[in-house]
Chains A and B, each alone.
Chain A
Amino acid sequence: MKKEKKMTLTLPVEELVGSGNLACQGCGANLALRYVLKALGQRTVLCIPACCWAVIDGAFPHSCMSVPIYHCAFETAASTATGVKAGLEMVGDLETTVVAWAGDGGTFDIGLQALSGAAERNDDIIYVCYDNEAYMNTGIQRSSATPTGAWTTTTPVKFPKDRPKKDIDAIMAAHRIPYLATASISYPEDVVKKTKKAKSIKGTRFIHIYAPCPTGWKSRPEDAVKLGRMVVQNCVFPLYEVEHGEKYTLNMKIKDKKPIDDYLKLQGRFRHLKPEQIKLMQEEVDHNWARLLKKCESA
C-alpha cells in the first residue's frame, strides 16, 4: 500500500489573533501579529500605542485577542512595556513576555526617545515595529520610515519624499542590545523562528517587520504577500539579525538580486516616478545592500 504523504506543519497551530477584526484587506500588520503571537504563546502582554493595531483589535468593549492589551500613548510603547514588565515581576509573574507593538511612526519618530531609553537600560522587553512605511492609521502621511520617492498625503506627487528611510536597525544596533532582527510577513517561518529566539533571550530585543499596506501603498490586497517577498529578493528590505550590536548574520542570501522596477510597479505610491528617479533609488538600494554585506562579512 502506498504510504500517505503528510504535510509537515511549520508554524504553531494556535491562533491568538481572532478573525473578524478591523484590519483592511491584505493588511500586513495583521499577519505580523498573528505570526509573532504564534511564536510567543498566550503568556504575553501587548503594549500598543496609537497605530493601526490600536484600531484593528476592535472598539470597546470588543477585542479580537486572546492575550491582554494595554493601549498606551503614542510615544510610550517602550516605556509602558518597561513599566508593565517591572509591575508583573513585582507581583510575582516572572514568566510573561511583555511586548511593545508599535508602527513605524511610533517607533522611528515619536517613540524613538522612549525606545532608546529602554534599549540603553536593556529593559527586558521585546519591541516589535511593524513597518508599513507611513502614518497609515491617520490617513497615509509620511514618516521617517517612508522610502525615498514615495507618495503620501504629505509628500504629494509634485514633491515626493526626498530623503532616505531612516536606518532604525543601525540605530538599535548602536545600542548594543542583545538581539535585533528584520523580518517580512511573507516569510512566516522566519518571523516565528526569530520571535522564538528573541523570547529565549533576556534584555531588549527589537524585531523590525516589513508589513505591506495595500490601502496606503495603493497596491492590490492580493499582492501584499508578493510585495513582502519581492522586497527581500530585491534587497530593499534584507532579512538579517544583529547580536549585541556587532554580530551581523544575513538570513537570506540573495544570489539573483532583482531590480526594484517590478516591485515599484505594483504600488501606486511610486507610479509618478521617472526612470532617472528609479535609477537613483536603485543606487540607494545597491549601496545599502553592499554596506550590509560588508557588515555581515566582517562579523
Chain B
Amino acid sequence: MKKVIMGNHALSYGAMLSRSQVIAAYPITPQTQVVELLSEMCADGTLNAKFIKVESEHSAMAACIGASAAGARAFTATSSQGLALMHEMLHWASGGRLPVVLGNINRAMAPGWTIWTDQNDSLSQRDTGWIQFYCASNQEVVDTVIQAFKVSEALAIPSMVVLDAFALSHTYEVVDIPDQAKVDAYLPPFNPPYRVTPDDPRAFGGLTGPEHYMELRFKLQKDMEKVLEMIERTGREYEKQFGRYLGLVDDYLCDDAEIILVTSGTAGYTAHVAVDEMRDHGLKVGNLRIKVFRPFPFEIVRRLTQSAKKIAVVDRNISYGHHGIFAQELKSAIYGHGDCKPVFGFIAGLGGRDITPASFREVVDFTISHDRPEEEIIWIGVKK
C-alpha cells in the first residue's frame, strides 16, 4: 500500500510493522511525531505494545533495556540532546547485548539552541557499540527499521536508524508500506536464548573482573564484524519479499568516476542529482552514499573507490581539532590499500545550513583544481 508520509511517521510505521512490544520515549523536537503516531497506534489497538511515557531519554533507554532483557522487542526514538542524555545507557544496551532499535533524528547540538540538522549527535555515539544506519528517503527509513530488528536480534547488537531533521523527518514522500504478513514472515518474533525470568534465574551484568571483561568485548567486536555480511544477506532477503535491496552503501556511477563524492543522509540524495548535472557537463563524477556507518563497510568502500583519482568527502559533522568524521573513516579505510589517492575533506551544512547541488559543484570544482587538499578541512558555505 502506498502512502504519502513524513519521515518521522516512516519510523513509526517501521516500529509498528516490526511488532515492537515495548516503546519507551520522551518528546524532543524534531522527533515528536514518531512517538505521537506510535502512542495513537498503541491506544487504538493497531499495535499491541506497551507505551511507557518516561520522564527522560535516559529512562527511555533504561526501560527499553529492561524490556529487551525480559525478552520483548523494544523501540524508542530521540534526537540530539536526548541522544546525548542516553549516552550511558547506549553502552548498557550494547554491553548487555540487547537488540533495541532506536530512531534518531539528526539534530545539531546546543548551545546555541538549535533544532536543525547535522550529524554530531549520532556520530558522537560512534564508539558505543551500536550499529548505525543513515537513511536518505522515507522509504529507506521504513525498510531499515524492519531490517535493523532482524540484524540486531540475530547478533544481539542494538541498532540506530538515523535520519536528518526536517530534510527528512518533516518531508513527505510516497512510501510503499510493506504488507504486515510479509513482514511477519521476514521478521519472526524475538526469541532470545537468555532472558530475565524466574524460570531460569541468572544474574545479568554483574561485577566482571579483568579475567573476564576483555573476552566480553572481544565477542562484541567479533559479532560486530558479522554485521556487514548479515546486512547484505538480510538486504537480499528483503529484496525478494519487497523488491528493494537494503545494502551497505548506495553507489552511483562510481565505476568510471575520476572523482568520487562520499556522502551520507539526505545530502547523499542531493549529491546524486548534482552528479547527473555534472555528468551532463562531461565531468566524470560519482557518488558513494554511505548508509551503514557502524560497522564501517571497509571492503566495499575500497572496492568502489579503487579506480577513482580523487575522493571528496562531504561531512555534515565535525570532530573538533581533527576532520569531518566520514573523512577520517575514509582515510582509515583506504590507507595501505593500493595507490595513496588524495582525500579532500569538506565540511558543509552544520546546524541545518542547506547543502544544495551548487554546494557539490563547488566541492567538485575545488577538487578538480587542486592536486592535494592543502588544508585538512575545506569549508563550504561558511562566512569566515
Contact = CB atoms under 8 A, between A and B. Distances in A.
Interface of A: 42-45, 47, 54-55, 57-61, 63, 65-73, 75-76, 78-91, 93, 96, 113-114, 116-117, 120-121, 123
B67 A57 contact: no
A72 B62 contact: yes
A79 B64 CA distance: 9
Range class of the B interface residue count: 35 or more
Please name the 6 residue pairs, one residue from A and one from B, whose CB atoms are nearest each other, closest first. Answer: A83-B66, A87-B70, A117-B55, A87-B67, A83-B63, A79-B59
Contacts of A60: 203, 206-209, 212
A42 B65 contact: no
Contacts, number: 172
B197 interface: yes
A79 B66 contact: yes
A96 B54 CA distance: 22
A66 B60 CA distance: 29
Interface of A is mostly: mixed
Contacts of B52: 82-83, 86, 121, 123
Contacts of B50: 86, 89-90
A72 B66 CA distance: 9
A80 B56 CA distance: 13
Contacts of B22: 83, 86-87, 90
A88 B197 contact: yes
Contacts of B89: 73, 76
Nearest to B205: A71
Interface in B207-266: 207-209, 212
A93 B204 contact: no
Most B CB atoms within 10 A — which of A61, A79, A113? Answer: A79
B203 A63 contact: yes
Contacts of B200: 68
A36 B72 CA distance: 27
Contact of B54 (A79, A87, A93): A79
A232 B74 CA distance: 44
A73 B72 contact: no
18 contacts: A45-B197, A54-B207, A60-B207, A60-B208, A60-B209, A63-B201, A63-B206, A72-B62, A76-B89, A79-B24, A79-B60, A86-B50, A86-B52, A87-B74, A90-B21, A91-B21, A96-B198, A113-B59
B177 interface: no
Most B CB atoms within 10 A — which of A78, A87, A120? Answer: A87
B62 A70 contact: no
A96 B205 contact: no
